[in-house]
Structure 1
Amino acid sequence: MKLARIYNVQFGKRIVTVKPDWLRVKAPQWERVGNVKEILRDLTLNTVCEEASCPNIGECFKAGTATFLIMGPACTRACPYCDIDFEKKPKALDPTEPARLAEAVRRLKLNHVVITSVNRDDLPDGGASQFIRCVEAVRTISPQTTIEVLIPDLCGHWEALELIVQGQPEVLNHNTETVPRLYRRVRPQGNYERTMELLQRSRQIAPWIYTKSGIMVGLGETNEEVRQVMRDLRAVDCDILTIGQYLQPSQKHLKVDDFITPEQFAAWKAFGEELGFLQVVSSPLTRSSYHAEEVRGLMERYPRQKVIN
């Protein structure tokens, strides 16, 4: 695997890891970013862009896009890589959230929207019903907008998965996050086999829906482990894959083991295309929803016929 050497610099009592040049992002144009933020604040909405400290927030907000985070911002899981708050107690579902989200889609004039959520293991259906309400609200107010749902594993509650799939989003995304060997350290409340089963069941229930998954690298995985995850995802007929560099949100989160070079990301992209993924987005700054709107072009190139029972 092609790695970059990690340099640590001490500032007072803090040890700061110096990022390589390819992980440095340009400062955003705050005129456009501010407009998106105003809409989100006005409608009291959360985005994963802000809650998870995404490095692409400036680029995406400048383009007028956002990944909406529903049922949050508090999460019922404590994944040590994630910057979303897990210490607060989750609140009851807000019945006005779907309408507010749909209104944001209308105001931002989104062609494609990504709806994700915190884990809500406290709810009987893991929050599936709220996903459906949000999808239906967007369909009503902005029928031309394509919808991607980025869902948790629902604790293996497959009836809840069927409910989400029956809402007929164009894309169903569920992140694998890391290689099996690192699950206990990186995703202690997750289960690799359950993730694969979720993606497989999604395709079986609705073959016309494009399935998608993503992994982080730089946590100590090997090149062959990454390639095996890619093979596993193709074995369950996953269509789209994202691969990005893990970045430590704060001193209390998991440390970065390696900075992966752009050349290695390009090699994984080429390997994924050989395996038959319809799309592989692989770069240091790639995140689950990075350039998600490009799926519209993919849908034109690889159209699928819906079958409604």
Structure 2
Amino acid sequence: MVVKPEWLRVKAPQWQRVGNVKDILRDLALNTVCEEASCPNIGECFNAGTATFLIMGPACTRACPYCDIDFEKKPKPLDPTEPTRLAEAVGRLKLQHVVITSVNRDDLPDGGASQFVHCIEAIRAISPQTTIEVLIPDLCGNWDALATILQAKPEVLNHNTETIPRLYRRVRPQGDYPRSLELLQRTHELAPWIYTKSGIMVGLGETDAEVRQVMQDMRAVNCDILTIGQYLQPTQKHLGVTDFITPEQFDTWREFGESIGFLQVVSSPLTRSSYHAGEVRSLMQRYPRKAPMLG
């Protein structure tokens, strides 16, 4: 049995606050990646009254061997009431910053881009001061679908590269590293006022040099924000952990990322894509960008 090091132990959450958030999610029949993907930070985030909403799920059309989201169920048709329910949750939780992600919906012609747009519009109608981050799949390289999402003007467009190119076939077999980089590049070109963000997992056998090369590749396509976190095996049927990376190494990657021009690097063993995502609001104040007026 693999024993987790001390730095990966998570403090027990205040269950009353967690329960309040869960009650709202259950009442509105909403999914969160916090629960579906067994995120280790669920207690901390729910205690803070935040959650990363998982739309169009919980069934995924891809079977990534690191991910705990269900891929064995058949995806259901899109629910037209989901954006309204999501917006109501944002209002009830009084969120200043919201993260919306999704399962892969390769069964849909636009990969679910229209549902992202409907969710953004519904939130803006109820809570116009809430900043919105979308964590999107690669849309199978459908750049018209990407443009559709960008036209809705989320403040942050997040797309995870997940791992280094050498490990893609094993870790992300239905993904494509150049395609993920192209998605980030096209976002910057089409909507330079949107902050672009990506993330990778470590502990799957990558080298320091390979991690640094991925970071440089991201900067080459003008990625603004980077998250780096330790991969943890959800169950015995998932990929095993190769290495537990020390907090000192995460600090080294953070310093390197800042030195090559990332506006923000969140790098620690428990970091996940949406961990402390609300801090982007202060980043926007330090590095302001103005989107064109909504037409």
- Separation in 2 of the partners of 1:24 and 1:130? 36
> In the TM superposition, what is the alpha-carbon distance from 1:196 to its structure 2 partner?
0.2
- Separation in 2 of the partners of 1:175 and 1:206? 18
Residues 273-298 of structure 1 show CA distances to partners (whole Å, capped at 9, x for unaligned) of 00000000000000000000000000
Q: Does 2:276 match 1:276?
A: no
Counterpart of 1:67 in structure 2 is 52
- Separation in 2 of the partners of 1:36 and 1:305? 33
Counterpart of 1:172 in structure 2 is 157
Picking from 109, 116, 122, the partner of 1:131 is: 116
> In the TM superposition, what is the alpha-carbon distance from 1:163 to its structure 2 partner?
0.1
- Separation in 2 of the partners of 1:217 and 1:131? 28
Q: Does 2:101 match 1:120?
A: no
- Separation in 2 of the partners of 1:139 and 1:179? 36
> In the TM superposition, what is the alpha-carbon distance from 1:153 to its structure 2 partner?
0.0
Counterpart of 2:176 in structure 1 is 191
Structure 1: segments with no counterpart, 5+ residues: 1-15
> In the TM superposition, what is the alpha-carbon distance from 1:305 to its structure 2 partner?
1.8
Counterpart of 1:307 in structure 2 is 292
Secondary structure of the structure 2 residue equivalent to 1:22? helix
Aligned residues: 294
> In the TM superposition, what is the alpha-carbon distance from 1:17 to its structure 2 partner?
1.3
Question: Letter of the aligned partner of 2:234 in structure 1?
Answer: P
Picking from 144, 150, 155, the partner of 2:140 is: 155
Q: Does 2:31 match 1:46?
A: yes
Q: CA RMSD in A?
A: 0.6
> In the TM superposition, what is the alpha-carbon distance from 1:307 to its structure 2 partner?
2.8
Q: Does 2:210 match 1:225?
A: yes
Counterpart of 2:68 in structure 1 is 83
Secondary structure of the structure 2 residue equivalent to 1:259? coil
Runs of 4+ in structure 1 off by over 6 angstroms are none
Counterpart of 1:30 in structure 2 is 15
Q: TM-score if structure 1 supplies the norm length?
A: 0.95
Question: Letter of the aligned partner of 1:41 in structure 2?
Answer: R
> In the TM superposition, what is the alpha-carbon distance from 1:192 to its structure 2 partner?
0.1
Picking from 161, 166, 187, the partner of 1:181 is: 166
- Separation in 2 of the partners of 1:249 and 1:304? 38
Picking from 240, 243, 246, the partner of 2:228 is: 243
